[in-house]
Amino acid sequence: MLPGGAGGAGPALAGGAGDHQSDAAAQAGGRVRLGAVDGRDGAGLLPGPLRSGRPRASGQLVVSFFSGIVDGCDRVHPGGYPGPLREVLGLRVAEFWPLAEGRSVALAGRYAGRADLWAEEIVPQGARVVASFVDGELAGRPAVTRHDHGRGTAWYVGTRPEPALLRALLDDVRAAAGVAPVLPGLPAGVQAAVREGAGGRYLFLLNHGSRAVQVALPEPWRDALAPRAAAVTRVALAARGVAVLTGPAGAGGGGGAGAGGAG
């Protein structure tokens, strides 16, 4: 859920954006870049198109709250927050406003809904506001921003949006980066990833949810663990279940690679 953290592990973008980056970017020959930055010194983690003097194809960067605080040695960045990311994000953070346990705030704008855990007083310095706080101490102030920088776009999320709201935001970022999911319309909690090599092409389906689900396939695939079984266009996944498929049937081992995120 886009956890920030002054120097903790990097955030895993909900929706599997990390997988999108690794496979879809490779499929596009490196032309598509999608990245995330946590609380460490993020300058070296920026997608190439967002770095000054690097005229490359469009990139998309999502930065979570409480980021750009310290460097890799836990030394606080001087000059205000979010440290070395201020120019890229087109903003500064004037104050932190952690939310009490169990409390949430409303957001309005392109991404309307609820958010909790954290809030920040964001001062845009070139960034455009796409969602604002409706209530609380920061009512009327920015909650989510986007900033065109170089040949890319940097997004800043100054709170923790509810899952559906975060998914809508990340879907927009993914689409702007030109990254398509392996299987559109997956049930909530289901992840899809394609891997291929000399041994063939494989589709991995993982149900992270606690309920059984049905996954529709756009074309027939065979169960890689039961190669004599007939090809199917629908797969039943038990709770926490996994399926490994090979194909598509009759298509040989070719085709591009990609990764789908948790639904």
| 131 φ, ψ (degrees, to nearest 5) | -155, 145
- Give 49's pLDDT tier (boundaries 50, 70, 90): low
Average pLDDT over residues 55-67: 80
3-state SS assignment for residue 21: helix
Average pLDDT over residues 195-216: 94
Q: Answer for the pair 36, 17: CB distance below 8 angstroms, yes or no.
A: yes
CATH 3.40.50.880 domain extents, the chain: 17-176
What residue spans of the chain are helical by DSSP H?
Answer: 17-27, 86-89, 163-176
Query: Yes or no: is domain 181-263 CATH 3.40.50.970?
Result: no
Q: Which residue has the higher pLDDT, 116 or 59?
A: 116
CATH 2.60.40.1180 domain extents, the chain: 181-263
Which pLDDT score is estimated for 68?
93
Average pLDDT over residues 161-187: 92
Correct CATH for 17-176 of 2.60.40.10, 3.20.20.70, 1.10.4160.10, 3.40.50.880: 3.40.50.880
Which pLDDT score is estimated for 221?
94
> What stretch of H or E contains 149?
strand 142-149
